[in-house]
Structure 1
């Protein structure tokens, strides 16, 4: 338990700085929530896995601190709805469903609240969280804050580059679309469903519970893989910044990833605010135009799922089609050659160009795709 005890001590020191007005019991409740029930698991983690676990705890803590801790129950719940409702793709899906349903008067927020309430009442993970939070604290106000923070973190977990809540909403549509006493199935047989079903083309029954457990396991694995990729990118980029910009750039990045504003970073680093803004622009330039393009392109592309070969630079099918139609024949030829996995040197030789010319054209293509992917 030495690692867990060390983590608890670190979190206690941080809470005393960030939340000086709370008592020791509140600190201990938050720490128990962050560390989880199984403290022995920390002893079995490798250094990289422990770093991921610490980042996950830091992420949950910042959610709690920024939106729920010390906030009244009604305001905290509105914060959760506002945060989840800001997901553009989810809002669009809900709007489309409402416009096509018989209940066109319903608002997006009403449907979103139904999905969240259903999650809180039926999702196995959130039920486990509720049970654990009950053991962590007897303060109803704090329990409410911890639960809402857990719900937000869970709903935003990335699954195949989309928030988990989006898939839960799709499941909600399937149940609501085929359920209800007034809905009579047409062309389908009504079946009694148990824990096991017998497929028509198989001799052995398939357990529905096993499928659910497998889906949850895959979601957890995808989240852990994404966190591992994020850690690798962060470590490599920090090393790059120290070598090219200086140690202060690494300090800025650490504070920025903690969610600090530029004014807070300036006070912490004891630097003029203008210097911090110039540093931010410099780091942003190196991140996009140098590190992601020239130093570690594959590492960044795999993390963001923006590789040319597998993810079409992170563009949706419609965006990709629009993007390709805007290219010149020469740019399209270069893109096709890059998609085959050829190196810049080999492409330069094929096109009778210099390598730096090919690199320059590829940079323009990459930045144009990212601008289309994340419009301002």
Structure 2
């Protein structure tokens, strides 16, 4: 679980709340409950962030707010914020009970129940660093998740929605009438039957690569959407946060070979090689020497064995490998 370094950093609380949301719905939830309640007890902002995630993805399981230890108030404003947040939760809970559960409330039609069921999140999928996972969805679409990925899936009556919270994934979309929409940061990738990759890192950078078919990439902020970018097979686009996508570039073979955990490079800069192979591993290979990073290398490398990969690069470059702080550093031989 990611620890809070700066709770006011952009997106930090939402990321932590989402990770706790996934963790507490898993089979090992009880093992993490004490730490989860401590996280919630840090203050009203943490509880509000978790509640927003829970409401967004229609979580049926309720958090026992009354049983949480009291947070330490920093100032009167924080206490008033806590009281206001709890009051809002009480009102929302009462309204939900009155209209959905209470005797004598508006009767539920079978069609409403079916629609509500179809809008519930199908699943949340997560991979550890260095893990490649393949998933078949209920509509027949196939997913391949790279290491360190978190993906939330919701299938509705009119749309299939998947949100990439962070990481890297390949989507092989089953053709049907409902649009297949992948959200990442402030963007949406809309497809019907196609194969494409999407990556979204914690710094807010997004990359979309199309392998087959056609997709539209849309981005926008504060309700203002930029014109859709239509990609053709073999094209990619990159952008940061919710900015307008950059120029359309050609996809390189090394960028899309990651599911096999074996990538081939042809006269590629070492810095770029490491950027690709480090994406699938929790043990990173780094180069501090700028001149070494500019050297172009060729060869076939596996991404699931960082030590072997570092050793191969060192032999190829006439460098040496240093194991420092849980990572491999390539340095020129003296």
**Into which bin does the TM-score normalised by the smaller protein fall?**
under 0.3
Larger relative contact order (Cα-Cα within 8 Å, sequence gap ≥ 6): 1
Q: Could you tell me the TM-score, scaled by structure 1's length?
A: 0.23
Larger Rg: 1 or 2? Answer: 1
Q: Could you tell me the TM-score, scaled by structure 2's length?
A: 0.25
Between Structure 1 and Structure 2, the one with more helix by share is 1
